[in-house]
Structure 1
Amino acid sequence: MTEILVQAATEEQVPPAGRVVEHPAWPRLKDAVEQIRPWQSKDGSIDFGAEGAPGRADAEAAVRRVTEAVRELSPLLPHDAAYHEALVADLHAWADGGFAVPDFLDSLLAFQPAADRRDGLQHLVVFPMYTQNGNPDRNLEAVVLRMVWPDWLAELERTRYDNPLFCGITFEDFTAGYDTNSAVLFPETIAVRQAPERFTWGGIFCDREAARFRRVTAAAVDILGLDLPEDIAAMVDDQKRCQDAFVLWDMVHDRTHSHGDLPFDPFMIKQRQPFWMYGLEELRCDLTAFKEAVKLEADGVPQARDVQYAVLFDRMFRFPVTGERVRNYDGLGGQLLFAYLHKHDVVRWTDNKLHIDWQRAPQVTNELCAEIEKLYRDGIDRPKLVHWFAGYELVAAYLAPHPGSMWAKGPDALDLTQPPRKLVDDVLPDEFPLSMFYEALSKKLKNVIASTKGITADGAERVAA
């Protein structure tokens, strides 16, 4: 198969720069995938008896176009030859099996991007998958990406923040599932017959995160009349600096999920618990990245100061007003950070302008991180329900619960004869509603946030220009 892949592209077909998206096979691959996607059910199968379904011959022809394009493109990516072989085999097996629920376990196991994180290395990825914060269905998707692994980041990972599975990545091009708010490529989203014993990589698109951050932050700064220090304003205006900040933030955040004084069952495992506990976990990881960035700044790492303000601004401006108000744990974490800084006089909303005490911001933000870390450390000695209440009390000390909340009334208001997971039913969808400040900000930012759907670095630069 490798010989076939190598022979499939001629010198005339391969552009001098070797970019996959400039090869004539890439638009053909995209078109074939986009033809297949509407035919698929939620689980990725194709029901030929459904209204509007294709004939089986049409579906087989579309898959052939995908495999032919993969064969043409694969010589540009010799490091992915084994994956592309397995991918073509999985696509053929899906077609031969009558387009039932797809199983791409073999190609998933063959795809090992974390094993070679050379900066700028391209990958062509095709899988039936859902895109987190994007499309919930397991549709066939195709994405071309590049690794982000500059020497300074590789050295920090090697010496301080071991994270051998983390992949910083940027978009080259993608199909419709990524024309969304999704900024991750995770193996657990891919349709397989059984989950592997362990996942060996996880990718986060720092270009989309940076572009989204820049657009929303610039709008929020303007709306709120915030005076930015010159170096921070320059960072918000610079896509490359923001990407560097996000890839460092992401690397430290990702490893923090398995580091620290965690309860025996860290929150990485899927379980039924109140959404504020997920909110505290995500905020803990972000604030740990912030705390490490303060240390790195003292050690002279140029990207460290940018990380601090990326965390502050993304958490305070975008997170609270993004998404639905239903168990929005990331939004809750952003609300909590703002309220904590406000109660400690680091942020002030006076005369319809936002003021930030830039000198005290690092110290007080680290104090919130310390409060959450103490919650975790103490939680090791608590029953689960007691720990949940302790988390609730920490959040409620800074955010007002909904007036109709049963949890706010305390244990006496709940039926404690039920197991803890049943008591989650008593949590309101919006247990901690937006403050009046955020209600007003949400109305002013909603169109800007909506405009970041599908954004990439190119989109951010066009807006900046």
Structure 2
Amino acid sequence: MTDVLSLADRNDSRGAPVVAQPAWRSLKAAVEEIRTWQRADGSVDLDAAGAPPRASVAAAVSAIAAAVEELSPLLPHDTDYHRALVADLRRWADAGFGVPDFLDSLLAFEPARERTDGRQHLVVFPMYTQNGNPDRNLEAVVFRMVWPDWLAELEATRYDNPLFCGITFEDFTSGYDTNSAVLFPETVAVREVPERFSWGAIFCDREAARFRRVSRAAVELLGVDLPDEVRGLMDDQLRSQDAFVLWDLIHDRAHSHGDLPFDPFMIKQRQPFWMYGLEELRCDLTAFKAAVELQSEGVAQAIDVQHAILLDRMFRFPVTGERSRNYDGLGGQLLFAYLHRDDAIRWTDNTLRIDWQLAREATGALCTEIEQLYRDGIDRPKLVHWQAGYALVSRYLAPHPASKWARGAEALDLTKQPRELVDDVLPDEFPLSMFFEALAKKLKNVIAETRGIRAAA
């Protein structure tokens, strides 16, 4: 059964708001000050021209530590983490503000150990923000867990994912005033990478807010006639958040489920970006298929997941971000082209028409095609598998006319290692179609407005 909490009720359901405390404002101000002094690796060069006095940096770090100690009693579940955080901050200061190492506090932070809906967490880490700031600046974030009973039951009984955390923003420093919607331990500056991580968090409120803003604009531009249930989804932030947290739960676990010819998250491999695009799309389509099953069983959020995947993938993904090896954009282009080929969508008389039932069937077929690619890939050499992936994509998307990969093996220097052949991939190997070029221009300002977006009730 769907929780009936309003957005405001859910956000206030556990504990006094940390962000309302003067100590949070002091902490945030000190972090923002330190960020201006840090280099890309997170260090502060005290000998550089115009560098701040060591005493000023030390005072700012001390202010952060003091604020954490003052706020920590509001968050007793994070006591061990906050104690380790203060120790890491002071050790960084004592060592002269070199490249930061927050491994001890990172290992002490375990939000997935007890996922309680509405629970607050305060974290401070030197980190880069994915799709945001590439430098390992100090960041501070206050967030709340999204773990309603219906989601907890599905995770416990159907979609086991013990490391996954759905979360929402309370407040954040500048690294999250960007397009970043994840909090991953892999981004934190540490002396050595742990053998495994114990959590991964996705801001479903930002994802939902971006989806709502961009989808509404695209629907208006394209004249899409939406069913009432889809329009209701785009008008409701909490409902959209619930769709995204379920989507993300299933997507995340899909990376390590199925016939996989490679490292599940591709972290240790250098591959052409279309392979990353196919992997992300496979995981989204896996979530789509699961949502179709859940809908037949009466799970209220399941139909919303299907609509969110279709609209976000088709409208926002292809026109968001730079065109340089944009694998999420490629996946969105591929889904749109596949549905268009099967007449599930038609662009006629400057109006986009969606056959929702046919789109559901075609989406499942595309997932099956990618799954077959993966199954066959288990018996292929790496380069042959990459070529097969290229062939799949290029059946539906036109490669760049200058592409070496499009001309086949004879155009590639096969004396090179496969990872070296990645350099022969063009930055925009599969350019936008004329349809998406026009849409990108019209949605440009809307996309820009979603930078750093906060959820609206």
Q: TM-score range by the shorter chain?
A: over 0.9
CA contact 1:267–1:278 (8 Å) conserved in 2:
no
2:290 is matched with 292
2:388 is matched with 390
The structure 1 residue matched to 2:440, chosen from 425, 439, 442, is 442
1:264 shift after superposition: 4.2
CA contact 2:274–2:327 (8 Å) conserved in 1:
yes
The structure 1 residue matched to 2:334, chosen from 336, 359, 366, is 336
1:226 shift after superposition: 0.3
2:128 is matched with 130
1:104 aligned to 2:98? no
Q: Distance in 2 between matches of 1:354 and 1:118?
A: 42
CA contact 1:206–1:243 (8 Å) conserved in 2:
yes
Q: Distance in 2 between matches of 1:359 and 1:257?
A: 27
Task: Write the letter of the residue equivalent to 1:42.
Answer: A
1:360 shift after superposition: 1.1
1:223 is matched with 221
Q: Distance in 2 between matches of 1:347 and 1:88?
A: 55
Equivalences for 1:13-412 in 2 at 5 Å? 18-412=16-410
Q: Deviations over 1:216-235 (max 9, x none)?
A: 00000000000000111011
1:266 shift after superposition: 3.3
CA contact 1:33–1:142 (8 Å) conserved in 2:
yes
1:51 shift after superposition: 2.6
Task: Write the letter of the residue equivalent to 2:412.
Answer: L
Q: Distance in 2 between matches of 1:308 and 1:370?
A: 16
CA contact 2:263–2:269 (8 Å) conserved in 1:
no
1:358 shift after superposition: 1.2
Q: Distance in 2 between matches of 1:251 and 1:51?
A: 48
CA contact 2:317–2:328 (8 Å) conserved in 1:
yes
What is the DSSP-based 3-state SS (H/G/I as helix, E as strand, rest coil) of the residue aligned with 1:98?
A: coil
1:425 is matched with 423
Q: Distance in 2 between matches of 1:325 and 1:270?
A: 24
Q: Deviations over 1:269-293 (max 9, x none)?
A: 3321110000000000000000000
1:267 shift after superposition: 4.3
Q: Distance in 2 between matches of 1:145 and 1:427?
A: 39
Q: Distance in 2 between matches of 1:405 and 1:419?
A: 19
1:17 shift after superposition: 5.8
1:116 shift after superposition: 1.0
TM-score of the pair, normalised by structure 1: 0.95
Q: Distance in 1 between matches of 2:227 and 2:25?
A: 44
Q: Distance in 2 between matches of 1:130 and 1:103?
A: 14
C-alpha RMSD of the superposition: 0.9
Q: Are residues 378 and 27 of structure 1, via their aligned partners in 2, closer, same or farther at CA, if it must alter by over 3 Å?
A: same
Q: Distance in 2 between matches of 1:275 and 1:46?
A: 34
What is the DSSP-based 3-state SS (H/G/I as helix, E as strand, rest coil) of the residue aligned with 1:147?
A: strand
CA contact 1:36–1:140 (8 Å) conserved in 2:
yes
Q: Distance in 2 between matches of 1:38 and 1:139?
A: 9
1:102 shift after superposition: 0.4
Q: Distance in 2 between matches of 1:22 and 1:222?
A: 38
Q: Distance in 1 between matches of 2:327 and 2:16?
A: 42
Q: Distance in 1 between matches of 2:263 and 2:131?
A: 25
Task: Write the letter of the residue equivalent to 1:372.
Answer: I
Q: Distance in 1 between matches of 2:50 and 2:439?
A: 43
Q: Distance in 2 between matches of 1:51 and 1:279?
A: 44
Task: Write the letter of the residue equivalent to 1:326.
Answer: S
Q: Distance in 2 between matches of 1:265 and 1:181?
A: 27
What is the DSSP-based 3-state SS (H/G/I as helix, E as strand, rest coil) of the residue aligned with 1:211?
A: helix
Q: Distance in 2 between matches of 1:56 and 1:430?
A: 46
Identity among equivalent pairs (%): 76
Q: Distance in 1 between matches of 2:126 and 2:265?
A: 27
Corresponding pairs, count: 444
What is the DSSP-based 3-state SS (H/G/I as helix, E as strand, rest coil) of the residue aligned with 1:272?
A: coil
1:7 is matched with none
Q: Are residues 346 and 120 of structure 1, via their aligned partners in 2, closer, same or farther at CA, if it must alter by over 3 Å?
A: same
CA contact 1:257–1:268 (8 Å) conserved in 2:
no
Task: Write the letter of the residue equivalent to 1:21.
Answer: V
TM-score of the pair, normalised by structure 2: 0.96
416-425 vs 335-344, which moves further: 416-425
Q: Distance in 2 between matches of 1:456 and 1:172?
A: 9
Q: Distance in 2 between matches of 1:412 and 1:266?
A: 30
Q: Distance in 1 between matches of 2:425 and 2:129?
A: 27
CA contact 2:168–2:205 (8 Å) conserved in 1:
yes
Q: Distance in 2 between matches of 1:112 and 1:263?
A: 31
Q: Please, which runs of 5 or more residues in structure 1 have no aligned partner?
A: 1-15
Q: Distance in 2 between matches of 1:69 and 1:33?
A: 11
Task: Write the letter of the residue equivalent to 2:187.
Answer: T
Superposed structure 1 runs of 4+ greater than 3 Å apart: 264-267
1:88 shift after superposition: 0.3
Q: Distance in 2 between matches of 1:120 and 1:265?
A: 34
CA contact 1:348–1:354 (8 Å) conserved in 2:
yes
